[in-house]
Structure 1
Amino acid sequence: MHTFQRSIFVAMALFTTAPVTADLGSTLDSNLPVAIEQELSSPTVTGMTVAVGKSGKIVYAAGFGTANVESGDGVSADTQMRVGSISKVFTAAVIGKLYEAGKLDLDAPINSYVPSFTKKRWPVSIRQAAAHMGGIRHYKGDEFLNTHHFDTVTSGIQMVAADPLIYEPGTRVAYSSHAWNLISAALEGAADSSFLTIMQDKVFSPLEMRDTAAEDITLNFPALSGFHVTENDHPVIAPFVDNSYKWAGGGFIATAADVARFGLAHTKPGFLQPQTLDLLFTEQFTQAGQPSGFGIGWMTASNMHARLIREGLTNYTPVVHEHLVWHSGGSMGGVALLLVDPEHDIAIALMANHGDAFSALLRTGLYTLAMAVNEH
């Protein structure tokens, strides 16, 4: 049996039968490197960084593999990678903060905060857009490969601001990163401040996320990983992209420890009020009563169960209880995963610098969650 497959079964056995032990960091340090090294044997897993938080503190952070196949530099715990769509839950935290301050009406039409988002056939609310039920389209054409730099959020949303809605809001679920770019413009209108300033003041500074930033190509990030795609069965540096049009939809970079620190801030009230956490985490439904798989930004346990079926990882079902919330991220040459377990006060963050490595992150993340829950 493949070593990593064997480790899966060991983890699940621990989850269901083993006695509780005291030192999660030591348990992870004894088991995770072996599992990750097995994943690194794949040509689609170039480098990986992982961090685990429990009971309010980071208990494990490490990097593995190669940060850049051209330079040969290695990945460390300090390596920054693209968080992709985990940016959406970063932004959801600002929604929570402005909602608590009475500055944001989730059911108001987006264009009441963003005049440049022209009036549509139907009104679309922030609440609907945040659950991917707003009728706003996702990428089209070569937008994902954008190389043009946008100086402001408002200029970036012009990609989609004049387009018609693709369905009546509330009637369907269709994933949309542009919806979150529009939400970031609405947050600017509600707070009367630039989106990146709001993110820094409301989220990154309070949570001491010192290694998290918008991936602005006009700035230098010495600790930023290279990113990779496959060419002729080998990893090569991914094409250049400029993500300035989608900070909220998928444009931030961070260390795994910062992402896990963000997750820990959502396991219990403090950073956000109890009712706000309920707001963000409670699954929304279509008008016909179908579950969306999303709260305000956050993906729900039902969404994870569907993903496990697609990935052939249904043996992990026992660790995915109804309170688990999460988000994945995919960007040019990189993938990311954040798992947050409020019931056990656990947050797990993983990132990889190859665009095809998500299955490896999901296996590793759930294996890690099984060990962390066992240590509760």
Structure 2
Amino acid sequence: MKAYNLAFIGAVWSLLSTSVYAENNLDQAIIAAAESEVQKTTVAGLSVAVGKGNDLIFARGFGVANIETGDMVSPDTQMRVGSVSKVFTAALLAKLYEDGKLDLDAPVETYVPAFPSKQWPVSTRQMAAHMSGIRHYKGDEFLNTRHFATVSDGIEMFIHDPLNFEPGTRVQYSSHAWNLISAALEGAGGNDFLSMMDDRVFSDIEMHDTAAEDATKTFPNLSAFHLDENGSPAIAPFVDNSYKWAGGGFIGTASDMVRFGLSHTEPGFLKQETLDLLFTEQFLSSGKPAGFGIGWMTAGNMRARLERDGLTEYMPAIHDHLVWHSGGSMGGVALLLVDTEHDIAVGLLANHGQAFPALMHVGLEALRAALTAQ
């Protein structure tokens, strides 16, 4: 019996040692990559988090949250998540779809009566995959400083413009399409968009540090945001993102992004058939893949990006079940990677508008290390 116990203890110790070794290697890989990137003039500060299964296994800040005060980034530092807001919004869309309140293929004016008739009908499904013909930003809209009190006020910026093409025939990225989706969700859900996001998404997933970046409110943990100025980071100009909560107006932490990602790796927050709906790639009328499901970008979309950017060394980490989204805001960038097959989520935020290459490097290193530690 003693020999059996010793053998059993030895086996357990071996497994624990292997696990600790793997986790240490993961930490070292992320820290080395992040510390290298934060030395660059196009990276003021960044935040990285990794989760596996139900656990947050890594969360750390690097660099400065504000170049003028010298305050450092911590895991609690909030930053702009940019277009990652779209997949947050897709979660509310999914909830209303599960409730039977939202028909993805109904004309958008079913839920937004103020939307003027166009030369072709437009559906929520088409808007969610960027193939609706609704335009993206134009002029200085990205630099908006006007505060909009409601979603209905914000969509007046674009809803009277003609469609750029027949829906379903092309892919053209559009944040305004997602702003219109938020108006449709208000019509379907019978409540204002931000209240539903708080009640049905952020509270349910315990994303306590995620919120709409309301310029009329103060957020003590919110980072400053930066842009390049003659080779050095400088404070970015003020913007008011109230016209685009759904398209790119939320703030949060890398840890909250990971919690959100992990809530989508298995049924619970959403049903399996709903997860399949979100992640299944849509197709154009020509049969060409769109690169998007409902909001989420596909693995094929990431592979194309790696080819384009010369990052093919990371191809082995891109499994078919990877879904993801990136974000770009005034003075900030974001990246969320979710491997639904291996229950892994990687969330990254940076407070410099030119830092996206850094997030790609650190994020892919983190994903590769997390897969190796399986």
Matches of 1:27 and 1:243 in 2, distance apart?
Answer: 39
> Could you tell me how far 1:24 is from its partner in structure 2?
5.2
Match of 1:175 in 2: 173
| Residues 91 and 24 of structure 1, relative CA distance in 2, 3 Å threshold | farther
Question: Is the Cα contact below 8 Å between 2:322 and 2:339 reproduced in 1?
Answer: yes
Match of 2:43 in 1: 45
| Residues 114 and 47 of structure 1, relative CA distance in 2, 3 Å threshold | same
Determine which of 56, 63, 67 is the counterpart of 1:69: 67
Matches of 1:79 and 1:314 in 2, distance apart?
Answer: 32
The one-letter code matched in structure 1 to 2:61 is: G
Determine which of 264, 268, 271 is the counterpart of 2:269: 271
Which stretches in structure 1 are left out of the alignment for 5+ residues?
1-18
Counterpart mapping for 1:1-376 below 5 A: 21-22=19-20, 25-376=23-374
Matches of 2:227 and 2:148 in 1, distance apart?
Answer: 25
The one-letter code matched in structure 1 to 2:129 is: A
Question: Is the Cα contact below 8 Å between 1:25 and 1:60 reproduced in 2?
Answer: no
Q: Give the share of equivalent positions with the same residue, in percent.
A: 66
Q: Helix, strand or coil: the match of 2:341?
A: helix
Question: Is the Cα contact below 8 Å between 1:22 and 1:375 reproduced in 2?
Answer: no
Q: Helix, strand or coil: the match of 1:298?
A: coil
Question: Is the Cα contact below 8 Å between 2:26 and 2:373 reproduced in 1?
Answer: no
Matches of 1:269 and 1:167 in 2, distance apart?
Answer: 36
What's the CA shift string for 1:254-300, capped at 9, x where partnerless?
A: 01100100000001111000000000000000000011000000000
Question: Is the Cα contact below 8 Å between 2:29 and 2:365 reproduced in 1?
Answer: no
From the CA coordinates, give the structure whose radius of gyration is larger.
Answer: 2
| Residues 359 and 20 of structure 1, relative CA distance in 2, 3 Å threshold | farther
| Residues 336 and 24 of structure 1, relative CA distance in 2, 3 Å threshold | farther
| Residues 251 and 263 of structure 1, relative CA distance in 2, 3 Å threshold | same
Match of 2:13 in 1: none
Question: Is the Cα contact below 8 Å between 2:51 and 2:262 reproduced in 1?
Answer: yes
Question: Is the Cα contact below 8 Å between 2:29 and 2:369 reproduced in 1?
Answer: no
TM (norm. structure 2) is 0.94
The one-letter code matched in structure 2 to 1:178 is: H
Question: Is the Cα contact below 8 Å between 1:227 and 1:238 reproduced in 2?
Answer: yes
The one-letter code matched in structure 1 to 2:160 is: A
> Could you tell me how far 1:29 is from its partner in structure 2?
2.6
The one-letter code matched in structure 1 to 2:184 is: A
Question: Is the Cα contact below 8 Å between 2:179 and 2:247 reproduced in 1?
Answer: yes
Matches of 2:245 and 2:233 in 1, distance apart?
Answer: 26
TM (norm. structure 1) is 0.94
What's the CA shift string for 1:214-235, capped at 9, x where partnerless?
A: 0001111010000000011100
> Could you tell me how far 1:87 is from its partner in structure 2?
0.2
Q: Which moved more, 1:20-29 or 1:132-141?
A: 20-29
The one-letter code matched in structure 2 to 1:150 is: F
Matches of 1:80 and 1:26 in 2, distance apart?
Answer: 26
What's the CA shift string for 1:185-232, capped at 9, x where partnerless?
A: 000000010000010111000000000000001111010000000011
Q: Helix, strand or coil: the match of 2:293?
A: coil
Aligned length: 358
The one-letter code matched in structure 1 to 2:52 is: K
Match of 1:16 in 2: none
> Could you tell me how far 1:375 is from its partner in structure 2?
1.3
The one-letter code matched in structure 2 to 1:194 is: D
Match of 1:4 in 2: none
> Could you tell me how far 1:21 is from its partner in structure 2?
3.9
Q: Helix, strand or coil: the match of 2:324?
A: strand
How well do the aligned residues superpose, as a CA RMSD in angstroms?
Answer: 1.1
Q: Helix, strand or coil: the match of 2:194?
A: helix
Matches of 2:21 and 2:240 in 1, distance apart?
Answer: 42
Matches of 1:23 and 1:202 in 2, distance apart?
Answer: 38
The one-letter code matched in structure 1 to 2:199 is: D
| Residues 223 and 116 of structure 1, relative CA distance in 2, 3 Å threshold | same
| Residues 20 and 313 of structure 1, relative CA distance in 2, 3 Å threshold | farther
Which stretches in structure 2 are left out of the alignment for 5+ residues?
1-16
The one-letter code matched in structure 1 to 2:269 is: F
Q: Helix, strand or coil: the match of 2:205?
A: coil
